[in-house]
Structure formats: C-alpha cells, structure tokens
A and B are shown apart, each in its own frame.
Chain A
Amino acid sequence: MSNLARLTRQTFTIARRDFVATVFTPTFLLFLLAPLMMLAFGTVGGMGAATMAKSGGDKVRIVVLAEGERARTLAATDARLRRIYRERERPPVLIAEKPAGDVAKQARALFDSKAIEASAVLYGPLEKPQILYGPQGDRSADYLAQLAEQGLQVEKIGSTQALSEPTRIAIARSGTTAGGQGQAAFFTVFGLFMVSLLLAGQVVGTMAEERSNKVIEILAAAVPLESVFFGKLIGMFGVALLFLTFWGTVVLNIGAFLPVKLATALGDVGVAVGMPLFVLLFFAYFVMAYMLLGAVFLGIGAQASTQRELQMMSLPITIFQVAMFGFASAAAASPDSWVATAAELFPFSSPFAMAARAANSSELWRHGAALAWQALWVVLTVTIAARLFRRGVLQSGSPRLFRRRRAAVDIPVS
C-alpha cells in the first residue's frame, strides 16, 4: 500500500470514529435543533419588542388645527399621501382639532395632553403654516409640511380628485442589478460566516477527548498526527454537512411557501457567475472556510489541557471569526478596492471574500487560484498544528524543524 493510500485510510478511520461518536448521541439532536431554538428565542424576543413598540405607538398622533372644509381637504390629502408609504413607515394617525383662541398656545398644550401623544402639530395659514414637533417628531413635521403644500394645491384647484390617471406595469429584469449582486455578495459572506461560526467552532475541543482519555498515545503510535488532525477535521466536516443538508432541505421547502411579493423583490438579487456555478463555488469555499478555520481552532484547542483553558479560548476564537467576517464584508462592499484584494489574499478571510467575489464578478480564473491557495494553507495549518501538538503535548521535537533551536525551547518533563 502506498504511503498516500495508507495516510488516506488512517485519516478516514479517525474521521469515521469522530463522525459516529458525534452523530449517534442524544446531544447531536440538540446541536441539530439549535437553530430552531435560536429562531424560537428570537421570535419570542421580537414579539415582545414589537408589542412594546406597538403599545407606545398607538397613542402617537399628528395634529392639524383646522376646521370645516380645510380640515376635510387635509384629511383627504392625508389619505392619498399615506398610500405612498409602507405599513411600518407610515406617519402617525392625523387628527384635526378645532382652533380655539390662541392657536399657538393651543398647539403647544397638545404636547402636554394625556389623551394623545402629539408627535407634531400644524396651525396657521397653509401658505405659512407653523409646525411644532416633539422629540423624534422631525419626520412627522416634514410630513405635515408636505401635507400643507398638497392641501393648499387642492384648495387652489378646488378638487380633491386626482388629475392624473397613471397605468402601472410591473417589469421583471432579465438580469440582475449591480446593487442586487452587492446584496448577494453580502448575503454570501454572511451565510458563510454563520455556518462557519456554528460549525467550525465545533472542532475546538475534539482533541481534548483524546487527551483526557489518554487515547492520543494509541493514535500517535499508529498513525501520523497529521492524519489524526485531518481525520478529526473531516469527521466534524461530515457532521457539518449533515447539519447543512438538514437545514438546507428545511429552508428550501420553506422557500416554496414565501409570499410572491418577497420572491419578486428578491428577483434583483443575483450572482455574477450564474446560480449553478455559484452554488458549486459556495460549497467549495464553505469547505475551505471550514477546513481553514477548523484547522486553526483544532490546533489551538489541542494545546488546551483542561476544559477551563478550552473555554478561555472560545472568546479569541469568536473574535477571530468575527474579524474575518468584517474583513470579507468590507471586501464585498467594494469589490475592486485594495481591501478586497487583501481579504482575498489573506488565507483565513479568503474563502469569504472569494465567495463574495463570485456574486460580484464573473471572472472565473481567480477562483481556481484562490481554491488552490486556500488548500495549500489548509495543509500548512494542519501540519503546523500537528507539529506544535507533537512538540508541546507529546514532548517530541521534530528533528528537521526544531533541532537547531532545541536548547532554547526544550520543554521540561512532567
């Protein structure tokens, strides 16, 4: 059997053990359903926040001090203007109050009223209206100004009827827009970040099991440490794939039930290389992101000798992931900038940034080069992690790599 075949066989033996040991446990079910719990908690939190916002917003009003025909004109104009806004963006409900005595004083008093919560109040002639507004009422004030303008025009024309009768035709674009590609790039980076955050972090503690059970000595005697590291990465990657397949299927099926309007809105969002190739590239970059970050985390985690050390490591690991996300997001926002080039070259942000590029640009040669570059770094990272482990934990220096520096870095026997 050739060396490569032996290494492959040994690597997959380790991977198989890790995969089985992870998947066939009740804890895996918790892991698999974790996004559901996240979603549930998010929904509950969101509903609570929405209820609070709604209860506060129910009393908010914009007020015009007008009566008679003018009040009716303004109400009709308000009804027409209001249609422009989406539900959540609409201004507060308009009410008309009959002017009485000192209107300036009356308008000011409305802000102290317990019956309503005035956001802005308009009084005086429509040619020169006075508009008062409270905290966060500046947009309401703008709206009232526009309402006065439109109301005055209606009064001058003498009719609230619309003069123009437009015909609206919805057009579906044959391609995607630059803005849509930018959005797709961001979604790509975000998606990769989320899956790598959820999944690559899982490998951090996997070597701890071998260390605490003393199995590492058995493994180290039977297979090269590089195979152990790769095996663990591949085993946990299998777990990650299972997770993605499950949730991918769920999301695809949910997609079929999305409102038509939302599907149309997403029509602009598209990728430069075309969807089939993009899916392939996304998967390839997911593999690389997982392997690269996983190799770093595995290497760091392998140095930990206690659970406490592992927990301490989780913060810098998360910060590192978020930093890569930020770097790649900046690259996605400006694909031709030096930041983008740097993010594409830096090995640990490269998968994210290149996935974003697949959404932004149709050039293909870069992807081949990037995948080769990232694969090289996967091998390098695993090799370095294995050597550090061999030296730090098994107390065995590699003669070729470390011998010259041995006197300076020898580790005392424990």
Chain B
Amino acid sequence: MAVTAKGLVKRFGDRRVVDGVDIAVPKGMIYGVLGPNGAGKTTSLRIVLGIIEPDGGERSVLGNPRPREVSDQVGYLPEERGLYPGMKTVQAIAFMGALRGLDWKTGRKRAVELMEAAGLGHATDQKIRKLSKGMAQLVQLLGSVVHQPDLLVLDEPFSGLDPVNQERLEKLILAERDRGATILFSTHVMAHAERLCDRLTIIAGGKVRFEGTVADARATLPFKAHYVPHFPNDGLPALLPADALREGDGWRFTLPDEGIEALLIKLIEAGYGISGLSIERPSLHDVFVRIVGRDALEQGERTETAA
C-alpha cells in the first residue's frame, strides 16, 4: 500500500472534522477522495502528509508511519496554491524539487523539460507574477512532480482551471501514473473522478461513506430509463413504474428488475407508441448525491460559508 490510514480523528474546537477515516491506497493507482465542501478531505490529506497531527488513529505513507521521513518521495499540491511571485518559473519548480532532495541543476533541467511537455515552454523565463492563474497552477503542479515522487497528493487540483488546462492536468496525472507513481487526489467534481480514478472513497461529515472502484460505486444504483411517448395522454403514468417523473416531453424511471421489454409492449399496445427511449447507466454524480445526501451537501455548504 502507498498510503494507509486507520481511524483518523481530528478535532477543531468541539467539532470533529475528521471522524474515524480509513484510507487504503494501493501502489500505482489513481485514488480519489470525494466529498462535499467541508467534508474533511483536506484535513485528512494534511494528516496523511504529516502537516498536521491527528488527535486519534494512525497513518503510514510508503510504508513509513512517520510521513515526514519519506517526504522526499512525496509530491504535494495543496488546495490553496502558493508560489513566490518574484521567482522565475524554472527556479520555482527547481526550488520545490530542492525541498524534496533534488539538486538545483537537475531541478532546473527537468523544469524546462516538464514545462515544454506541458505546453508552457514559452514561459520558462517568466516570473510567477506574470503568469495567469491557470498557468501558475500548472507550474505548481510541475513543481510537485519534478523530483519524480512515488506518491503524488493533489488537493482539489482542478479548481480554478479552464477546460483546456483541466485536460492538460488530466494528461499529466495519467502520465505520472504510467511512470509508476501513486496518485491520491481530492475533488468534488465528479467528472474528473469518473475519468481518472481507479478507486475512490467518498467522505461526508468527516466519515467515510463509500470505498471502492467507480464501477462499484455505480453498481450501488439501478439503471434509469428515459421514455418519450409518440401519442401522450393522461392515462400514461398509470402504466409506468411508481418512481416515474416527468421530464419535458418524456418520463424518467428506474429500470424494472425484469427488464424494459414487457413495459414497452404494454405501452405500444395501449397506443402510446415510442418516440424516444434511452437506458442510462447511473453516473458517479448520482451515486455521490445518493450516498452523501442532499442534507449533507447543504450542511457542507453551510459550514464552508460560516468558515
């Protein structure tokens, strides 16, 4: 395992921000930590990295119970981005490498290579303060991988990036995984998690609510059908499953256990016809909303607003 955490607890005042979180990240995987705002994702990651000490539980990073002792093998992109504005990009990347044990000369050489590969070759001599927010964020990410870490921890890496830079970042994460690194990242944007994660955990209210693969997560919800009748009239809902909800010209309902065929025959025989029909696999977003619950989402948003 690249990362294991058992029963992590962290209190701020009388609030348990992390409440018995378990995480197990196998080596070589992209592992997502999902959760609404204020769920305890960042605090959990900071505990794993040894930036803050837990009030309870234990953790191990790359087999070492003291994360700081293996910090040279770890890369980290924090939620709040931070770079020295007066530094040039190559120096900034080399500096982050030097903090993790990479010599400055190699750091500068790799920084240029990484920037060119990430499409930032034109900005190697620019100062950080001259970069756009997205570019600065990419530079910081490059700084977290310049020393070729075994474990890369990214806290909300996609926030604030435009779609082009989001795609660049996704490619970079995949390239790191292909290099052999383990990637642990937090997000509340499901699309990225769905595309990238080999495994994921969903945290809400400081507790783990789900752990498994994306497929496992989707399997927790049934398929949905979206049916649009050709000749609609008022008697239609009586033929549809009880959870059917009107959506525009059509109806959305859970796919019956015995399949859709029998229902379709009934609808055709009743004269409604079929103008459109789609069978939809549940998305990670659906799973997330069901697991976390709307209440928890709202509570998270309230907490964030208060903070």
Binding site for B on A (CB under 8 A): 1, 3, 6, 9-10, 13-14, 17, 21, 25, 209-210, 213-224, 394-399, 406, 410-414
Contacts and interface: CB of A to CB of B under 8 A. Distances in A.
Contact of A412 (B13, B50, B72, B100): B13
Given A218-B76, A410-B11, A412-B13, 9 more contacts: A6-B101, A221-B71, A222-B99, A223-B71, A394-B52, A410-B13, A413-B13, A413-B15, A413-B17
Contacts of A6: 72, 101
B307 interface: yes
A223 B55 CA distance: 21
B83 A222 contact: no
B82 interface: yes
B193 interface: no
A224 B15 CA distance: 27
Q: Name the residue in A214, A217, A414 with the highest tally of chain B Cβ atoms < 10 Å from its Cβ.
A: A217
B82 A214 contact: yes
Nearest to B13: A412
Interface of B: 11-15, 17, 46, 49-53, 55, 68-69, 71-72, 74, 76, 78, 80-87, 95-96, 98-101, 140, 143, 307
B83 A215 contact: yes
Contact of B52 (A13, A25, A209, A395): A395
Contact of A217 (B14, B17, B82, B100): B82
27 contacts: A3-B69, A10-B99, A17-B95, A21-B84, A21-B86, A21-B87, A209-B84, A210-B82, A213-B85, A218-B76, A218-B143, A219-B99, A220-B51, A221-B51, A221-B71, A222-B76, A222-B99, A224-B68, A394-B51, A395-B12, A396-B46, A397-B53, A406-B55, A410-B11, A411-B13, A413-B13, A413-B17
Give the interface SS of chain A, mostly helix, strand, loop or mixed: helix
Contacts of B53: 396-399
Nearest to B144: A218
Nearest to A221: B76
B12 A412 contact: yes
A13 B98 contact: yes
A1 B78 contact: no
A218 B12 contact: no
A398 B51 CA distance: 11
Nearest to B52: A396
B105 to A, nearest CB: 13
A412 B82 CA distance: 23
B52 A222 contact: no
Contacts of A14: 99
A214 B99 contact: no
Contacts of B85: 213
A413 B96 contact: no
Given A224-B68, A396-B53, A397-B53, A215 B13 contact: no
Q: Name the residue in B85, B98, B143 with the highest tally of chain A Cβ atoms < 10 Å from its Cβ.
A: B98
A61 to B, nearest CB: 65
A71 to B, nearest CB: 77
Contacts of B101: 1, 6, 9
Contacts of A21: 84, 86-87
Contacts of A413: 12-13, 15, 17, 307
Given A17-B95, A222-B76, A410 B82 contact: no
Nearest to B67: A221
Contact of A213 (B17, B72, B83, B100): B83
A21 B127 CA distance: 13
Contacts of A397: 53
B100 A218 contact: no
Contacts of A17: 84, 95
Contacts of B81: 214
B71 A214 contact: no
A235 to B, nearest CB: 13
A57 B86 CA distance: 56
Contacts of B83: 213, 215
Given A222-B71, A396-B53, A216 B82 contact: yes
Nearest to A217: B78
A218 B100 CA distance: 11
Contact of B51 (A215, A396, A406, A410): A396
Given A222-B100, A223-B99, A396-B52, A217 B13 contact: no
Given A213-B82, A410-B11, A411-B12, A13 B68 contact: no
A404 to B, nearest CB: 13
Nearest to A399: B53
Contacts of A13: 95, 98-99
A9 to B, nearest CB: 7
A37 B59 CA distance: 57
Contacts of A398: 53
Given A9-B101, A221-B71, A214 B15 contact: no
Contacts of A410: 11-14
